[in-house]
Amino acid sequence: MPSELPADSVGLVSPQTAHFDQPLMLACGRELPAYDLVYETYGQLNSARSNAVLICHALSGHHHAAGYHSLDERKPGWWDSAIGPGKPIDTNKFFVVCLNNIGGCNGSTGPTSINPATGKLYGGDFPVLNVIDWVHSQARLADLLGIDVWAAVIGGSLGGMQAMQWSITYPERLQHAVVIASAPKLSAQNIAFNEVARQAILSDPDYHGGQFYSHDTIPKRGLMLARMVGHITYLSDAAMGSKFGRELKTDKLNYDFHSVEFQVESYLRYQGEEFSGRFDANTYVLMTKALDYYDPAAAYEDNLSQALAQAKADFLVVSFTTDWRFSPARSREIVDALLDAKKNVSYLEVDAPQGHDAFLMPIPRYFTALRGYLNRIEL
């Protein structure tokens, strides 16, 4: 809890809810008859409505990207280091919008919402989502806020995929796309990790086919395992090594299977435990599926340059050297396709030890470039 709010914080913020009655047709063929989107905004929309920036969240993210909900809040929003007055995404200049995506578990319509067709919670019956569904729903939110064109759409990881999809689906509606630690589609290895995470949840006896709410339980073990697997892929070998090494929690080896012996075990269990208490298992499986399905080139004869040829935006692409979940080589695929499509693009490969998690860290080189890129945008 901050005793007082830092000067470069957006300060106290409150989420808002937008309700949409117009049905949303989804890529899977089903439609959402109505839905809510929970979002936050920081800064002021200018009179020309030209300074809006959309922040797209990653797998476990949400609408609370910056500032504090109350003075009692322990930590600020998930990207507070980047968003605020004088920060790289400068709220003195930009009107920043961040929402919780459909399928989420932080207030927007998702598995924990009531399915109007049945009067019961969606649970495991929530439609399987594709990144493009989120982009369509975000466009509706933009309409509601009176934003015709985003100055920039920015996202890391799964958020970067949304930024890319925006540039393809609504080329006229954004000037810049900032794609950080992302990939043009998942590799077999990426999908494999997601499948392990999903199976951990789906095979948990407490999952009950996704209807665990009515059984008054949660698939805690499954969700915990899923997060533990995920977490391994977010950190680099070196980062784990320097953080935990082979350090023990106990003073000697116990020669059993139930003790938490290595520090890294303790850390992963803590992360899993904490996550399982705040995140919805159905949302987790939905998000991993959306990742697996993401492949904007598929609609263009598997040609990524052709897909990105639709774009009118300029691009900034950033990767991190030790990120092995979405390695620099994956970002290079995006850059090469953009070059091939004759788009304006800048690319940074930031030397950082943190692995995939680096995209959430205030690494000086990364933030300097992000700030420089956004500063020169003419509104």
Partner 1 sequence: MRADLDIIQEWIPHGSRVLDLGCGSGELLEYLQQHKAVQGYGLEIDPDNIAECVGKGLNVIEQNLDLGLANFATNSFDVVVMTQALQAVHYPDKILEEMLRVGRECIITFPNFGHWRCRWYLSTKGRMPVSEFLPYTWYNTPNIHFCTFRDFEALCHRSQLKIIERLAVDRRHRDGKLANLWPNLLGEIGIYRVTR
Q: Would you please indicate which residues are annotated as catalytic (active-site) residues?
A: 157, 323, 356
* Binders of partner 1 in range 138-157 (CB under 8 A): none
Interface with partner 1, residue 348, by CB under 8 A? yes
CB 301 within 8 A of CB 329: no
Interface with partner 1, residue 105, by CB under 8 A? no
Please identify which residue in 8, 36, 73, 340 interacts with partner 1, judged by CB under 8 A: 340
Please identify which residue in 92, 203, 242, 344 interacts with partner 1, judged by CB under 8 A: 344
# residues contacting partner 1 (CB under 8 A): 20
| 227 annotated as belonging to a binding site for a ligand | yes
Interface with partner 1, residue 353, by CB under 8 A? no
Interface with partner 1, residue 161, by CB under 8 A? no
How near is the Cβ of 371 to partner 1 at its closest, in Å?
Answer: 8
Place of tokens 């990426």: 190
Interface with partner 1, residue 347, by CB under 8 A? yes
* Tokens representing residue 66 in the block: 């910056």
C-alpha span between 328 and 268 (Å, rounded): 26
248 contacts: CB under 8 Å, gap ≥ 6: 261, 262, 263
- Can you give the length of the chain in residues? 379
Interface with partner 1, residue 8, by CB under 8 A? no
| 357 annotated as belonging to a binding site for a ligand | yes
CB 211 within 8 A of CB 359: no
C-alpha span between 251 and 199 (Å, rounded): 35
Which is nearer to partner 1, 273 or 336 (by Cβ)?
336
Interface with partner 1, residue 179, by CB under 8 A? no
* Binders of partner 1 in range 359-378 (CB under 8 A): 365, 368-369, 372-373, 375-376
Coil, helix or strand at residue 88: coil
User: Judging by DSSP bridges, how do beta strands 83-84 and 176-180 pair with one another?
Assistant: unpaired
Which is nearer to partner 1, 278 or 342 (by Cβ)?
342
Long-range pairs for 209-218: beta carbons < 8 A, 24 or more residues apart: 209/123, 209/124, 210/111, 210/123, 210/124, 210/125, 210/126, 210/281, 210/282, 210/285, 211/121, 211/123, 211/124, 212/123, 212/281, 213/112, 213/121, 213/123, 214/120, 214/121, 214/123, 218/276, 218/281
Site string for partner 1, 305-334 (x = CB under 8 A): -----------x---------------x--
Residues forming contacts to partner 1 in the complex (CB under 8 A) are 316, 332, 335-336, 339-340, 342, 344-349, 365, 368-369, 372-373, 375-376
Q: Binding-site residues for substrate, please?
A: 227, 357
